[in-house]
Amino acid sequence: MQTNLPEGDFSRYLIFLPRTKTELKDATAAAYLYSPDAYPLEDWLPETQQNTHESMYWLLHAGVDHVFDAPRYSAIRDRMHDILNRSYTEFLEGDSIHGRELLEEFRSLISQTV
């Protein structure tokens, strides 16, 4: 599934990669609260590793690929990427209400997986 995120090297954010469903839900909550441009500055992080709208959605996509990597999750994984793509775009287009609704749908899908 292709994402509509900007091209770039986000590998410096891999230390924050969600590795469990709980961590993925936590990252979703952060995106819900802070997107698109209200991410808090963390004084313990260098400027190049501060969270942004782009980096958070990159982490969410990467987290989906990591947490739901088993073949049985193929369809749900594609659906999750689609929801994240739409949410990302809604925030950028100024519709934070719809962007957050999509994040709620995404979080619900995480909970529904077994």
Where does the pLDDT of residue 114 fall: very low under 50, low under 70, confident under 90, or very high at 90 and above? confident
**Domain limits, the chain:** 17-38+50-112
Q: Answer whether 0.95 is exceeded by the pTM.
A: no
Which CATH number applies to 17-38+50-112?
A: 1.20.120
- Report residue 71 as tokens: 């073949």
Query: Using one digit for the tens of pLDDT, what is the confidence trace for 3-46?
Result: 555 566 677 676 778 999 999 999 999 999 999 998 888 888 78
Q: Distance between CA atoms of 65 and 107, rounded to whole angstroms?
A: 15
The conformational region for residue 20 under phi > 0 = left, psi -120 to 50 = alpha, else beta, is beta
3-state secondary structure of 81: helix
Q: First CA to last CA across the chain, in angstroms?
A: 21
- pLDDT for 6 equals 52
Residue 26's CB is within 10 A of a number of other CB atoms, namely 12
- Report residue 32 as tokens: 């819900």
Q: Distance between CA atoms of 112 and 15, rounded to whole angstroms?
A: 26
